[in-house]
Chain A
Amino acid sequence: MMNESITHTVTRRDLLASVAMAAGLIISYGVLGIQGLMFLLPERLRPRTRRLFAGQLDGYRAGGVQVFFDLSGNEILIRRAPAGLTAFDSTCPHLGCRVHWEEDQQRFFCPCHRGVFNPDGVGISGPPAAAGQSLAAVPVEVDEKSGVVYIEVKDIRKRRA
């Protein structure tokens, strides 16, 4: 068995080659690493959304609220405001209780700690107001031609039952 070691003297040409090689390896494997990381991290940056049917415009009384559900089972409150339709997630930003619409008082009310939101979803009384919180808005869209209302909710991957 030979035990001699063979040594090299490093020249400038060698250095350039080494740098080129190192850079190439780091960048290419680095990109692979990033792709691998994206693979391991379930999508967070752009959560996919689903359009869901939410009634017809004609079915909404002026100032009235209808309740539809998103894919997680949360109630989405859709109100026909003078300016158009607005939709909110009924989950109270304070501690997650379910908010409901009070027609007579024209407000969204959370019974848990008596949080109150105005028709635009902004907290105006109780803990949410104190923390400057509002109800999460949900994108809502009306199809011009048919008057069908759609809400855009987060898509959750469900396995088939």
Chain B
Amino acid sequence: MNRDPGLRQRLQEMVPFDWSLLRHIGSEPVPYHLKKWWFCLGGTVLYLFIIQVVTGIALTFYYVPSPDEAYASVAAITREVRFGWFIRSLHKWSAQFMIVAVILHMLRVYFTGAYRRPRQLNWCIGFLLLGTTMTFGFTGYSLVYEQLSFWGATVATNLAEAVPLVGPLLAYFLRGGAEVGENTLTRFYILHIGVLPTVAALLVGLHILLVRLHGVTELHFEGETVREDERHFAFWPEHGTTELMIGVLLMYLLTLTALIFPAGLGAPADPTVTPLHIKPEWYFYFNFRLLKLTSLRLSVVLTLAAGAVAFLWPFIEEWLSRRLKFPDALSVLLGTLAFLSFLVLTVWEAFAG
């Protein structure tokens, strides 16, 4: 820039940052396989998270976190506020898409072995992000204060009781008392708009930072021939434009979904009337089905155990492969089995009614 060298210098004094560093980051070479859509799921999740934050903040302008007024405020958003139904539907569908994207992203990372050394920590962070996302979904749904919101929260906090050692304390903390009541709603609200977004932002920041520090996992696919000069491409503008594409595509799909399947409202929560069928959101079906197949304690313990194994998988796999002959195929098999069990349990619960 040939403007006012004095001005530039003064700005540089005020903010002594090496701006050329940004260009350096921006021109990070991205491995060519990121041109494949399968590898853009992480960006998808990030973009959907941003949408959730934006629409979520908008919704807090009208939502009232009190048992007496929560439902009415959601009804007002849906029926009276201009574009309220649209913002709410975007928020709802973005949540659904986000959870699907997170699961698919995890699958991709697992089956391309990108969790392996030296990226184990990022896998753990990612897993925590999975938990955070599902907690977002759970707390968010409870805020609507429909029948299922209330009773779903009741069932979930009862499940929390069964966690070994800390269960009762955890449940008491979540509920803000012995029963689901007005403390519960405020707690879920604070979790949903304060605690979880902060945690998520920190974790996402770390997650992306680690990816950048490690660099994207280089992959070599069997039988593929790639020219050396095509092995990498610039983050900006190539990959950035890809991300833009994904972003606009997502907006388009979300808008269509919001138009065709706008978010509705069930009956308002009634602590004195238990509905005949209580069901959690679909991403908890696997847990619910497990609960029905075993007992409360057993299902919680099993879930926690499976979760712990999954969380520590990179380390476990490393330890196993050092001790035994642990071929890749076995990893793939285990991963497939794990995902299939999740799928089977989920679908079973969905159709069992």
Do A and B bind? Answer: yes
Q: What residues of B have a CB within 8 angstroms of the CB of A6 in the complex?
A: 27, 29, 232-234
In the complex, the answer to whether A1 meets B248 with C-beta atoms within 8 Å is: no
In the complex, the answer to whether A39 meets B215 with C-beta atoms within 8 Å is: no
Chain A nearest CB from B281 CB (Å) reads 25
B interface residue count range (under 10 / 10 to 19 / 20 to 34 / 35 or more) = 20 to 34
- C-alpha spacing A24/B245, complex, angstroms: 11
Knowing A1-B215, A39-B58, A39-B81, the reply to whether A28 touches B248 (Cβ < 8 A) is: yes
Q: Does A105 contact B (CB under 8 A)?
A: no
In the complex, the answer to whether A38 meets B232 with C-beta atoms within 8 Å is: no
Chain A nearest CB from B93 CB (Å) reads 15
Q: What residues of B have a CB within 8 angstroms of the CB of A39 in the complex?
A: 58, 81-84, 86-87
Contact with A along B41-77 (1 / 0, CB 8 A): 0000000000000100010010000000100100010
Closest A residue, CB atoms, query B69: A159
In the complex, the answer to whether B24 meets A5 with C-beta atoms within 8 Å is: yes
Closest B residue, CB atoms, query A18: B237
Q: What residues of B have a CB within 8 angstroms of the CB of A24 in the complex?
A: 248
Closest A residue, CB atoms, query B255: A32
Q: Does B23 contact A (CB under 8 A)?
A: yes
Closest B residue, CB atoms, query A160: B72
- C-alpha spacing A5/B84, complex, angstroms: 45
In the complex, the answer to whether B23 meets A38 with C-beta atoms within 8 Å is: no
Q: What residues of B have a CB within 8 angstroms of the CB of A8 in the complex?
A: 234, 237
In the complex, the answer to whether B248 meets A25 with C-beta atoms within 8 Å is: yes
- C-alpha spacing A1/B87, complex, angstroms: 42
- C-alpha spacing A159/B68, complex, angstroms: 10
In the complex, the answer to whether A35 meets B69 with C-beta atoms within 8 Å is: no
Q: What residues of A have a CB within 8 angstroms of the CB of B82 in the complex?
A: 38-39, 41, 43
- C-alpha spacing A7/B234, complex, angstroms: 8
- C-alpha spacing A29/B82, complex, angstroms: 18
Q: What residues of B have a CB within 8 angstroms of the CB of A41 in the complex?
A: 82
- C-alpha spacing A53/B285, complex, angstroms: 53
In the complex, the answer to whether A4 meets B248 with C-beta atoms within 8 Å is: no
In the complex, the answer to whether A5 meets B234 with C-beta atoms within 8 Å is: yes
By CB atoms of chain B within 10 A, which of A6, A28, A43, A160 has the most?
A: A6
Chain A nearest CB from B243 CB (Å) reads 12
Q: What residues of B have a CB within 8 angstroms of the CB of A160 in the complex?
A: 72
- C-alpha spacing A48/B192, complex, angstroms: 33
- C-alpha spacing A35/B84, complex, angstroms: 10
Knowing A5-B27, A6-B233, A159-B69, the reply to whether A40 touches B58 (Cβ < 8 A) is: yes
- C-alpha spacing A78/B33, complex, angstroms: 77
Q: Does A145 contact B (CB under 8 A)?
A: no
Closest B residue, CB atoms, query A33: B54
Q: Does A21 contact B (CB under 8 A)?
A: yes
Q: What residues of A have a CB within 8 angstroms of the CB of B80 in the complex?
A: 157
Knowing A32-B251, A39-B82, A39-B84, the reply to whether A3 touches B24 (Cβ < 8 A) is: yes
- C-alpha spacing A115/B82, complex, angstroms: 40
Q: What residues of B have a CB within 8 angstroms of the CB of A73 in the complex?
A: none
In the complex, the answer to whether A25 meets B244 with C-beta atoms within 8 Å is: yes
In the complex, the answer to whether B83 meets A38 with C-beta atoms within 8 Å is: yes
Q: Does A15 contact B (CB under 8 A)?
A: no
**Chain A, 41-77, CB within 8 A of any chain B CB:** 41-43
Q: What residues of B have a CB within 8 angstroms of the CB of A5 in the complex?
A: 23-24, 27, 29, 234
Closest B residue, CB atoms, query A34: B83
Chain B nearest CB from A45 CB (Å) reads 10
Q: Does A36 contact B (CB under 8 A)?
A: yes
Q: What residues of A have a CB within 8 angstroms of the CB of B23 in the complex?
A: 5
Binding site for A on B (CB under 8 A): 23-24, 27, 29, 54, 58, 61, 69, 72, 76, 80-84, 86-87, 215, 232-234, 237, 241, 244, 248, 251
Binding site for B on A (CB under 8 A): 1-8, 21, 24-25, 28-29, 32, 35-36, 38-43, 157, 159-160
Top 9 nearest A-B pairs by Cβ distance?
A5-B27, A6-B234, A39-B83, A38-B82, A2-B29, A35-B83, A1-B215, A39-B87, A40-B61
Known: A36-B83, A39-B82. 10 other contacts (CB 8 A): A1-B215, A6-B234, A7-B234, A21-B244, A25-B244, A28-B248, A38-B83, A39-B58, A39-B86, A39-B87
